[in-house]
Amino acid sequence: MVRPASTRPAAIEANWTAVKMPDGGRTAFASISYLMAVNDDWGFGPGVYGTAKGNYGGIFTAGFTAQRRWRLGANTHLATSLYVGAGGGLSSSELRFGGGLMLRPEISLRTEQGAWYSGLSLAQIRFPGGNVKGTALGFSLGRSTDFGSFSPLDAGRRGASSGRTGLGIDEIAFTATMARPRAGLLRREGSPLAGTLGFAGADLRQYVAEGSWWGVEASGAAKGGVDGYMEVLGQIGQDWQLAKSALGQLRVGGQLAGGLGGGGGVNTGSGWLLRAGPSLRWVTPWGASLRLEGGATRSYSGTYRVNFWRAALSMPLDRTPATAFNGQGDEGMGTVREQQLGLSTLVLPRVRFKDGRRETVGELAVSMRRELSDRTYGVAYAGSAAKGSAGAYSFGLFGAGVQSRPLTPNSNLRVGAEALVGAAGGGGVQVGGGAVMQAEAWAEWRPDERLRLRAGAGQWRTLRSHDQRSALLHLNLSYAYGSLQR
For 207-252, write each residue's pLDDT tens digit.
988 899 999 999 998 888 888 899 999 999 999 999 999 999 999 9
SS3 content of the chain, % helix, strand, coil (to 5): 0, 70, 30
State the Cα–Cα distance between residues 179 and 424, nearest whole angstrom: 17
pLDDT tier, 47 (very low <50, low <70, confident <90, very high otherwise): very high
State the Cα–Cα distance between residues 347 and 337, nearest whole angstrom: 30
Protein fold of 335-485: Porin (2.40.160)
Residue 442: predicted pLDDT: 98
Give φ, ψ of 34 to 5 degrees: -115, 120
DSSP 263: B
Domain ranges of the chain: 6-149, 169-316, 335-485
Identical fold at 6-149 and 335-485?
yes
pLDDT at residue 322 tops 60? no
State the Cα–Cα distance between residues 38 and 49, nearest whole angstrom: 23
pLDDT tier, 320 (very low <50, low <70, confident <90, very high otherwise): low
Given a contact cutoff of 8 angstroms between Cβ atoms, the answer to whether 384 and 86 are in contact is yes
Residue 444: predicted pLDDT: 96
pLDDT at residue 340 tops 90? yes
State the Cα–Cα distance between residues 412 and 446, nearest whole angstrom: 5
Beta strand spans in 38-100 (E): 42-51, 60-73, 76-88
DSSP code per residue over 15-32: EEEEEE-TTS-EEEEEEE
Sign of CA dihedral 423, 15, 81, 427: positive
State the Cα–Cα distance between residues 89 and 227, nearest whole angstrom: 11
Residue 325: predicted pLDDT: 46
Residue 308: predicted pLDDT: 96
Cα-only R_g, the chain: 22
Q: Which top CATH class is 6-149?
A: mainly beta
Report the DSSP beta bridge partners of residue 347. Answer: 362, 473
pLDDT averaged over the chain? Answer: 90
Given a contact cutoff of 8 angstroms between Cβ atoms, the answer to whether 339 and 482 are in contact is yes
For 140-167, write each residue's pLDDT tens digit.
999 999 888 899 989 888 888 877 888 8
pLDDT at residue 329 tops 80? no
169-316 carries CATH number 3.20.20.70: no
Residue 331: predicted pLDDT: 60
pLDDT tier, 434 (very low <50, low <70, confident <90, very high otherwise): confident
State the Cα–Cα distance between residues 251 and 242, nearest whole angstrom: 5
Residue closest to 150 by CA, chosen among 332, 417, 412, 418: 332
Report the DSSP beta bridge partners of residue 395. Answer: 383, 424
pLDDT at residue 323 tops 60? no
413-425 and 272-283 as β-strands: parallel, antiparallel, unpaired?
A: unpaired
State the Cα–Cα distance between residues 164 and 320, nearest whole angstrom: 6
pLDDT at residue 43 tops 90? yes
DSSP 182: P
